[in-house]
Structure formats: C-alpha cells, structure tokens
C-alpha cells in the first residue's frame, strides 16, 4: 500500500484504560480498555506477561489526483517515506485503490448524491426506518476555497475540515474521535449512528450476532489481524501501562503494517441482508453517545467486550482516539 502523509497525532486526551487480560499457550495478550483490545504477539517476544449492494459509483473518482493532492503532497511523502521502510513491504509497489479511483480524473458531480429510494445510493436502507453507510467511513478534506481532496486514513484530523464518504475498496479512517466523527458526518448531510441503530444494522434482518451468522466464522471478517504495537515496538517491553500512551497509539505507521487494517468490503462475507460491510472487526465504530461509546470490535478483537454486533466499549470519552477507532454515518430516510 502506498503510504500517506506521516504525521504524529497530537492531542490532550488521557491514554487508554487498561484491563487485565489472559495469555494462551501461543499468544500473549495485552488488552487496552477495549479500544486496542487483544493486542497480540508471539509468545517469547519482548511484550512480557499480559497486563492487561447495488454496485455504487465511487464518489472519490470525481477528484483529479494532481489537483487533489497538490505539489506539497509528494514533497511531504518523500520527506517521510523513511518512516515506513520495511512496513507492509508487499504493498510498497502496488497502486492503492484510491490511486485507481483517481486515475480517471475529475468526473464532476455534486454531493450529496440523489436519493436511491429512501436512502442515498452510498447508504443501505434499514427496514425503511433509517439509512446507514454501507462501508466504514473514509474522508475527504474540505479546503478553504471549497474544493476537496482525499484525506489520509492514517493522519490526525486535528486542524482539518473533513467530511465522511462511504466507499468500497479503500482504507477506512482510523485515528478519529467521536467528536470528530460527528462533525465529519454532519458535513456530508448525515449523522453518527445511534447505538440501537448501529446494532440493528450490524445484526441484519435476521438478527444474527455476527451479522452473517450467530457464531463467529474465521476469515469472514477482519478480526484476526496482527498486533501493530507488537510489530512497531518489537524491541521494547510494552508491559508497563505508560508505554501505551497517546503518541504511540496514534502513530500513523500502525494501520499500515501488513495484516492489520483491511480495505472496506475486502472481506466480502462480512455482511448481512442489509448489504452493510465490516460492522464486525476492521475498526471500532463510534456511535452517538456524549460519554463516548464504540461498537463492533476491530481487527484484533471482536469478543472481549461482547460478541460481534453486541461488542460495546464505554471506557473512553468522546474525545479519545487511537489507531483502532473509526466510524460510519447514519441518516434519516427521505421524507
């Protein structure tokens, strides 16, 4: 995967809360308050003991890559490329899905899209009661002159005006808080999903615990990924709580390590009768709760805080974010 801009995430929120975990004979687990839960590494590592669709036309394709990224992007990428040396090597020479979408150049077109029945075409209708994004959100940045450009899924949104889009085959946005997700949805004429809405959409019309079934099936969803903290900080003992701090858990490299974050819809079996994807695993997804709640688990864990669609984490305030936190938007049906 072609790395995006490498910038450390800055913020003032306290690091994640730790909870006691357990280790199997082959794995050592470090659970971080449910947000980057079930971090794993091979036993004997330096981690030490456990401490705790109708087919959619891609909306991004209307952007010209040159116009969107600008001259400054290539300079920034060149200056930071050394940070990514050795990470995701198998992706290094491959064009990203975003690259392929942008290759066609500017296709024109305005947003929001026209309604498809009661919901826009990038959203699924949940029993004609509300609409939900088919895919975990990715972002475009809205510039001061009103133009837009793709936004790196590995970059902090702090200081940027961004709005959410629902797109197949792109890396979704991590490193985002509930507060920021609410703003990104609102700029696209949507809103963050309510907890009950999110769970209903996840479980599907047949009300299954994992959406596709009542029991977890290996490989259906992205829920058995690598530990990016274990890879990136392999030479450190991560057992002390202070090692799981804000800066480390928001490093842009984390979700670029091979075997971690997957493109939206890549696990095509991770869906249900509503036609929504990746609601279990891949990224935790914020829901509308002023006290801070995210659901569904992420690529390392979909069971610690409840199974599949019943997974709920309430350990962090709405301003919290790390590499595992993402979102998708909901909307009211058309009048």
Domains in the chain, CATH or no CATH each: 1-335 (3.90.1580)
Report yes or no: 244 and 34 within 8 Å, Cβ to Cβ. no
Question: Taking the CA of residue 267 as centre, how many other CA atoms within 13 Å lie in the half-sphere pointing to its CB?
Answer: 27
Please report the pLDDT score of residue 154 as a whole number.
97
Please report the pLDDT score of residue 117 as a whole number.
62
**Tens-digit pLDDT profile for residues 165-216:** 999 999 999 999 999 999 999 999 999 999 999 999 999 999 999 999 999 9
Report yes or no: 292 and 16 within 8 Å, Cβ to Cβ. no
DSSP string, 238-283: --SGGGS-HHHHT-TTGGGSTTS---TTSSTTSB-TT--B--SSSS
Instruction: Give how far the C-alpha of residue 31 lies from the chain's centroid of Cα atoms, to the nearest Å.
Output: 19
The pair of structure tokens assigned to 246 is 């804000």
What value does the mean pLDDT take over residues 221-225? 96
Does position 116 have pLDDT exceeding 70, yes or no?
no
Please report the pLDDT score of residue 115 as a whole number.
42
Non-local (6+) Cβ contacts of 261 within 8 A are 153, 171, 172, 174, 222, 225, 255, 282, 283, 299
Would you state the torsion angle of the CA atoms of residues 253, 245, 171, 213, taken in this order, to the nearest 10 degrees? 130
What value does the mean pLDDT take over residues 295-309? 97
Please report the pLDDT score of residue 238 as a whole number.
85
What value does the mean pLDDT take over residues 149-153? 96
Instruction: Give how far the C-alpha of residue 87 lies from the chain's centroid of Cα atoms, to the nearest Å.
Output: 19
Please report the pLDDT score of residue 334 as a whole number.
76
Does position 249 have pLDDT exceeding 50, yes or no?
yes
Please report the pLDDT score of residue 49 as a whole number.
26
Does position 229 have pLDDT exceeding 90, yes or no?
yes
What value does the mean pLDDT take over residues 17-25? 26
Does position 12 have pLDDT exceeding 90, yes or no?
no
Q: Is 246 left (phi over 0), alpha (psi -120 to 50) or beta?
A: alpha
Give the predicted TM-score (pTM) of the model: 0.69
């Amino acid at each position: 995967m072609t790395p995006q801009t490498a910038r450390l995430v800055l913020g003032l929120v306290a690091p994640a809360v730790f909870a006691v975990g357990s280790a199997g004979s082959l794995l050592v687990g470090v659970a971080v308050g449910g947000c980057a839960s079930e971090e794993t590494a091979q036993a004997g590592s330096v981690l030490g003991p456990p401490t705790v669709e109708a087919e959619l036309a891609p909306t991004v394709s209307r952007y010209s890559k040159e116009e969107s990224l600008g001259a400054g992007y290539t300079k920034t990428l060149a200056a930071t490329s050394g940070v990514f040396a050795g990470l995701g090597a198998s992706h290094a020479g491959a064009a990203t899905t975003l690259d392929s979408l942008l290759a066609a150049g500017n296709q024109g077109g305005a947003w929001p899209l026209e309604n498809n029945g009661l919901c826009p075409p990038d959203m699924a209708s949940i029993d004609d009661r509300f609409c939900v994004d088919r895919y975990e959100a990715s972002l475009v940045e809205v510039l001061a002159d009103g133009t837009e450009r793709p936004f790196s899924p590995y970059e902090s949104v702090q200081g940027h005006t961004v709005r959410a889009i629902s797109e197949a085959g792109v890396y979704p946005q991590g490193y985002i808080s509930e507060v920021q997700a609410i703003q990104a949805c609102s700029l696209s004429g949507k809103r963050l999903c309510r907890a009950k809405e999110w769970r209903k959409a996840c479980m599907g019309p047949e009300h299954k615990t994992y959406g596709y079934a009542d029991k977890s099936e290996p490989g259906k969803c992205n829920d058995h990924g690598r530990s990016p903290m274990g890879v990136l900080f392999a030479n450190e003992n991560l057992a002390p709580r202070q090692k799981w701090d804000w800066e480390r858990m928001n490093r842009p490299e984390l979700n670029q390590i091979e075997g971690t974050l997957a493109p939206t819809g890549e696990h095509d079996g991770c869906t249900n009768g509503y036609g929504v994807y990746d609601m279990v695993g891949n990224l935790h997804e914020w829901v509308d709760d002023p006290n801070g709640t995210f659901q569904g688990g992420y690529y390392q864990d979909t069971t610690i805080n409840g199974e599949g669609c019943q997974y709920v984490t309430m350990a962090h305030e709405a301003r919290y974010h790390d590499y595992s936190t993402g979102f998708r938007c909901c909307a009211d049906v058309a009048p």
